[in-house]
Structure 1
Amino acid sequence: MRDHLALARARLALALAQWPYLLRTLGMVWTAARPWTLAWIGLLILQGILPVATVYLTRALVDNLVLALENQAGWMAYGTVLPLAGGLVGVLLLTRLLAYGADFVRTAQAELVTDHVSALIHDQSMAVDLSFYERAEYYDRLYRAQYHALERPLILLESLGAVLQNGLTLVAMAAVLLPYGVGLPVALVASSLPALYVLLEHRYRFHCWRLKNTENERRTWYYNWLLTDREPAAELRMFDLGPHFQSRFQSLRRQLRNERIRLAWDQGKAEAVAGTGSLLIMGGALAWMLWKVMQGLFSLGDLALFAQAFQQGQRLMGTLFESLGDIYSNSLFLSDLFSFLALKPAVADPEKPVAVPTPLRQGIRFDGVTFRYPGSARAALKNFHLEIPAGQIVAIVGANGAGKSTLIRLLCRFYDPDPGRILLDDVDLRCFRLQELRRQITVLFQEPIRYQDTARENIVLGDRLAVNGFPAVQAAARAAGADSFIAGLPHGYETLLGRWFKEGCELSGGEWQRLALARAYWRLAPILVLDEPTSAMDPWAEHDWLQRFRRLAAGRTVLMITHRFTTAMYADMIHVMEAGQVVESGSHDQLLAQGGRYARSWRQQMQGVSDLKPAGPGALDMVAGI
């Protein structure tokens, strides 16, 4: 018994600890849908009062009907019965109409609250550092915020409404029973307390189960994505991986399903015991009331009122406690939402920002930069030094994992180095506002996004604030070598791309890359960063683009990451990276003359190319890019 009391106190303490989340949720609802919330409260109050009117009208109707039958005075004796019957019908009709109105108000309110919570989640997802995406626990939080907490405010709102409505009705029902003895309202409450204990205990166990299985639920989502999405479809068929991932999905679902069924079975057994006790208490109270009627102390109308009031009271207590349980469990889940919204980015604007130097006079400098990705013991960069003079094209080459793409992430200030500095004209990047800094940089990422939108929109997304007209869109496409294939699309620049939506037109990998390159050109930023700009292009497309590259880059400071020497040779300066360090530097001719790593790799590549015996001007450049 002592253990049960201690457990009950612990559950009560945990429930009280959720109170701040409840208040914050109500604040969100009020902010999102103030007029609808006021209408909702008014309807709930009316719905809470009407059942009491039904009980009183029922007692009056039964007593007057019994009196009329006893007097046998003809139809005139029913003069008081008919208005009461009409009033009862009117109350029932009004109850139904109010329920329809409440459903409409809740729908409007729910839509606004859902959009408001989605906006909060989206804002926070865009505000957190990229470092959060390196941690599994972040994905667990995001998953719970998106797939659980998103709907919880609405369920919590429904539960609060039920508590308000049923609480009002219950208080009124207790007042109806009070004249028949203080013990009846006490018995009504006592008959429902075991059910409340069972409810809170189960909701807590269910919450713990969801927390424990967040990663397993994400894994089922991942396996479902593998089995249904277009991206992995070809490889799954090629290597016959479908049955393998189906087996993994079904195994996890079997585990989750069995655990969930066991929870439901335990809850059902406990509720059966609690429900039996409740019925015994109700039976005892009903027997006592019958005994009073047989003694002539109460009328049949009193018995009808008691039966209806006690039955409704028990139902209301059950609904009330169910709603309190929903509030409790949803408050537990809402803690995930608010903990997600409370995440603070480490990369933030300075308190006293300075203006970004425009145009660059000196250039970009990496000064003693060391950087490790979150959770990684290996340094991507170690005491790294690099200068990119203003107005020059600098290429970075090296093996995978050398740290090349890390330079881009640090330059865009997705991460901050520790220790070390990155300088624009001798000013640390951390002195600038993030938005202003990033507007001075345009980037072609190694794996650019394929926006499921029109070709024109895919380009102008590079700078939504630009007011250039359609000729500028065409110019950006020509600069990237994308205008020729866009012209061949069914609706030109207004053709919907991708296969996600109806009438979409799919592009090849190289065409998507050239479109992303046009997006990078569209933003007229002084710093141009290209990460593997020709990796998805065929040699002919690469050769065509390289012929125009230096002219297009004129006046910009360019940082180009590439594996292709035929691309790197167009740069003013080439730096060879290995294990987070620059090991060689110079122009293409200088590096060949040094006879180091770059020269050896070039000769190996050219030896393989010469065996193909290409013919025609520019053919060597094209084949070397293979």
Structure 2
Amino acid sequence: MTFKESKDNPLHRDFGLWSNTRFVLNRMRKYCPIVFLLAFTDLFCASVQSYLGGFLSKFIMDTITIDLPLAEKQHRLIIIIIIGALVALAFSFARIIAGSMVWPRYIYIRTGVIHERVAKAMRMNYALLEKPEALDLHQRAQNSTDGNNNGFEGMMHLMQDLGKNLFTTIVTFTAVLVLDFRLILALTVMGVLSFLYYRVILKKDKKEVWDRLAPVWRKSSYMARVTQQPEYAKDIRLFSMVPFLLKKQRAVFETREERIDYHQDLWNRNMLFGQAMNVICRFLTYAVLYFAVIREINPMSIGSFTLYLALANAFSGALIYLLQRFGDFNRASMEVDDLRSFLEMNSESTEDLLPLPETDSLELQFHDVSYRYPEAEKDALSHLNLTLHPGEKLAVVGLNGAGKTTMIKLLLRLYDPTEGLITLNGTDIRKYPREDYYRLFSPVFQNVELFALPLAENVSMLPMQETDREKAATCLREAGLADKLDELPKGLDTELLKIASEEGVDLSGGEKQKLALARALYKGAPVVVLDEPTAALDALAEKQLYERFDRMIGKKSAVYISHRLASTRFCDRIAMFMDGRLEEYGTHDELMAKGGEYAHLFDVQAQYYREHPEGEEDAE
């Protein structure tokens, strides 16, 4: 496949009209193949209906003007009208049935593509979530799948419109050509001019309006979330942020309104130009028919006059509409470019990947690993060499900004190293499928997020039918939520949050942390990672929780992250980071004996770990 890189977004790709057409047709065939028959039936009936009246009028006018007895004329007219009405009714009925069945199936197909987009959003490389270009591209992909007149579904509707008008144009072309080939040329020129101007408007509209609105929609969504979500409400009120945030939101709205006004101005110009072309086409049609009938250049009956007038109007209308819909098709295709660019963004090849080793004896090793955030001036983590042995408890400590969290994101493969590599049992972790590699870890992060799902599913992170309820309850009790579980009226079936259920229950900060521990216990992965989930606790409480959780996980490998050195002194090895580098490494006793930076900071922090005011027992 060949495509061009877009100038406005380095992650955007231009796939081309025919490639996007194949993409849409493939999705139609994948999700609902019968839609092809329904769409063809609808477009065929719609095309015939556009000029059926012209033929019916010709037969009626010819019957009226023919030299026959009145009774016979009446008899013929009745037959023509009855047959015409039945034929028209049959086409109308077929079109109504097919059309009513096509529309919901288009929505069904679009829903399938939305599932693809959402799945991509949840599986895309985590590092891309921090890139504005990726977020803008996701917004544009969402726009491409959220409407029925644009983007993906727009291409389906437009294919049907193009087919209808192409069929009408071909049928009426021959009849008008017999009348006067110069009329065909003139109508075609008018149609092409209308299309060319329409195409200019389309390009300007896409580039100057909708592409520039992508970040505006993203900011608008953010402002809506900030001003309506409970977690922001306290700060907004206590810091008197209402005028400030309203000003920010007004600025976003003003940008949007300015672009929408420009959009409306563009299409007003196109409408005026199109009307002018339509008037010229009608004038030319009547002029040709005038010369053909009045001047007797091409003598015809009144019925033929009526037919040719209907066919000429049908031809010019179908041609102009065909070309304009082709322009719309190009625009929708450009929006499908947005969708496909997002779906194929950073797509990783599944070829030559290896299955994960079937063993719980896992050794993870950093080999001269460095990582630099995009557009940063220096490495966040520099030349790290470190090994996590099977069953080992490793403490990763250091002050805020030392590089601890970056190291963990690299270990979990949320980031890939800028330099160096990480190996699992001697093999580069990039050789394994990313989702398979994720299954090796039970993480507990500092920020714990609840899902609007039952408590049991919030523990298992699986559908209820796949959840071991007894295991979920056990994990909750082991994590310290026994009392909370017992007081909930619906127990494990209690909905969390009030988003999906009015009876939803929220948890306190401490309860959320314990729920996160229960998740890690339930998953039971061979490597446990705790990334400062207890930062809100005091130093002594953090130390006690870490030690209790360590007893829960048994002989699993574990990585404990903290900026409080004594919290993790029970670990087999301690890695101390400073300014993105591994400063010291060893056991607690070794580092204390060394008398370096670790020992100094430990002594400074030791006062916070005394369990009694008199200092009868402290961290030493």
Q: TM-score range by the shorter chain?
A: 0.7 to 0.9
Q: Partners of 2:614 and 2:407 in 1: how far apart?
A: 38
- Structure 2 counterpart of 1:519, one-letter code: R
- DSSP-derived class of the 1:34 partner: coil
CA-CA distance at 1:601 after TM superposition: 3.9
Residue in structure 1 matched with residue 207 of structure 2 by the alignment: 208
1:190/1:350 Cα in 2 relative to 1: closer, same or farther (>3 Å)?
closer
Residue in structure 1 matched with residue 111 of structure 2 by the alignment: 115
Q: String of CA shifts for 1:453-480, please: whole Å, max 9, x gaps.
A: 111011111x779978332222211222
Residue in structure 2 matched with residue 317 of structure 1 by the alignment: 319
Residue in structure 1 matched with residue 498 of structure 2 by the alignment: 499
Matched, 1:245 2:241: no
Matched, 1:330 2:329: no
CA-CA distance at 1:596 after TM superposition: 4.4
Q: Is the 8 A contact 1:135 1:375 kept in 2?
A: no
- Structure 1 counterpart of 2:305, one-letter code: L
Q: Which runs of 5+ in 2 are unaligned?
A: 1-13
Residue in structure 2 matched with residue 353 of structure 1 by the alignment: 354
- Structure 1 counterpart of 2:92, one-letter code: R
Q: Partners of 2:234 and 2:437 in 1: how far apart?
A: 41
Q: Is the 8 A contact 2:15 2:337 kept in 1?
A: no
The alignment of Structure 1 onto Structure 2 pairs a total of residues equal to 600
Matched, 1:25 2:24: yes
- DSSP-derived class of the 1:366 partner: strand
Residue in structure 1 matched with residue 9 of structure 2 by the alignment: none
- DSSP-derived class of the 1:449 partner: coil
Q: Partners of 2:45 and 2:615 in 1: how far apart?
A: 88
1:609/1:308 Cα in 2 relative to 1: closer, same or farther (>3 Å)?
same
Matched, 1:82 2:78: yes
CA-CA distance at 1:433 after TM superposition: 4.1
Residue in structure 1 matched with residue 8 of structure 2 by the alignment: none
1:429/1:40 Cα in 2 relative to 1: closer, same or farther (>3 Å)?
same
CA-CA distance at 1:376 after TM superposition: 2.5
Moved more, 563-572 or 74-83: 563-572
Moved more, 119-128 or 319-328: 119-128
Q: Which runs of 5+ in 1 are unaligned?
A: 1-14
1:306/1:16 Cα in 2 relative to 1: closer, same or farther (>3 Å)?
farther
| 1:301 pairs with one of 300, 303, 324 | 303
- Structure 2 counterpart of 1:475, one-letter code: T
- DSSP-derived class of the 1:105 partner: helix
CA-CA distance at 1:604 after TM superposition: 4.0
Q: Is the 8 A contact 1:367 1:420 kept in 2?
A: yes
Q: Is the 8 A contact 2:206 2:331 kept in 1?
A: yes
Matched, 1:343 2:345: yes
Q: Is the 8 A contact 1:396 1:574 kept in 2?
A: yes
1:608/1:305 Cα in 2 relative to 1: closer, same or farther (>3 Å)?
same
- Structure 1 counterpart of 2:133, one-letter code: E
| 1:103 pairs with one of 86, 99, 110 | 99
Moved more, 156-165 or 278-287: 278-287
Q: Is the 8 A contact 2:165 2:321 kept in 1?
A: yes
Q: Partners of 1:192 and 1:289 in 2: how far apart?
A: 19
Q: Is the 8 A contact 1:198 1:271 kept in 2?
A: no
Residue in structure 2 matched with residue 573 of structure 1 by the alignment: 573
Q: Is the 8 A contact 1:47 1:98 kept in 2?
A: no
Q: Partners of 2:467 and 2:497 in 1: how far apart?
A: 25
Q: Partners of 1:494 and 1:468 in 2: how far apart?
A: 12
Q: Partners of 2:191 and 2:478 in 1: how far apart?
A: 75
Moved more, 563-572 or 440-449: 563-572
Q: Partners of 2:454 and 2:540 in 1: how far apart?
A: 25
CA-CA distance at 1:79 after TM superposition: 0.2
- DSSP-derived class of the 2:34 partner: helix
Q: Partners of 2:169 and 2:347 in 1: how far apart?
A: 48
1:192/1:434 Cα in 2 relative to 1: closer, same or farther (>3 Å)?
closer
Q: Is the 8 A contact 1:459 1:519 kept in 2?
A: yes
Moved more, 44-53 or 424-433: 424-433
Q: Is the 8 A contact 1:290 1:303 kept in 2?
A: no
Q: String of CA shifts for 1:299-346, please: whole Å, max 9, x gaps.
A: 332332233333333332332223111111111222222222333346
Residue in structure 2 matched with residue 148 of structure 1 by the alignment: 144
Residue in structure 2 matched with residue 524 of structure 1 by the alignment: 524
- DSSP-derived class of the 1:80 partner: helix
Residue in structure 2 matched with residue 132 of structure 1 by the alignment: 128
Matched, 1:487 2:486: yes
CA-CA distance at 1:239 after TM superposition: 2.2
- DSSP-derived class of the 1:584 partner: strand
Q: Partners of 2:616 and 2:507 in 1: how far apart?
A: 29
1:311/1:238 Cα in 2 relative to 1: closer, same or farther (>3 Å)?
farther
Q: Is the 8 A contact 1:350 1:433 kept in 2?
A: no
Q: Partners of 2:527 and 2:218 in 1: how far apart?
A: 39
Residue in structure 1 matched with residue 182 of structure 2 by the alignment: 183
1:414/1:349 Cα in 2 relative to 1: closer, same or farther (>3 Å)?
farther
CA-CA distance at 1:531 after TM superposition: 0.9
- Structure 2 counterpart of 1:171, one-letter code: I
Q: Is the 8 A contact 2:539 2:567 kept in 1?
A: no
- DSSP-derived class of the 1:413 partner: coil
CA-CA distance at 1:270 after TM superposition: 4.7
* Misfit runs of 4+, over 6 Å: 463-468, 538-541, 615-618
Q: Partners of 2:365 and 2:266 in 1: how far apart?
A: 65
1:282/1:489 Cα in 2 relative to 1: closer, same or farther (>3 Å)?
same
* Pairing of 1:412-451 with structure 2 (within 5 A): 412-451=412-451
CA-CA distance at 1:205 after TM superposition: 0.9
* Pairing of 1:539-578 with structure 2 (within 5 A): 545-546=545-546, 548-565=548-565, 567-578=567-578
Q: Is the 8 A contact 2:566 2:606 kept in 1?
A: no
Q: String of CA shifts for 1:184-241, please: whole Å, max 9, x gaps.
A: 3333333333221221110111111123443233223322332233332332222232
* Pairing of 1:399-478 with structure 2 (within 5 A): 399-461=399-461, 469-478=468-477
Instruction: Give the superposed CA RMSD.
Output: 3.3
| Percent of aligned pairs sharing the same letter | 23
Q: Is the 8 A contact 2:216 2:255 kept in 1?
A: no
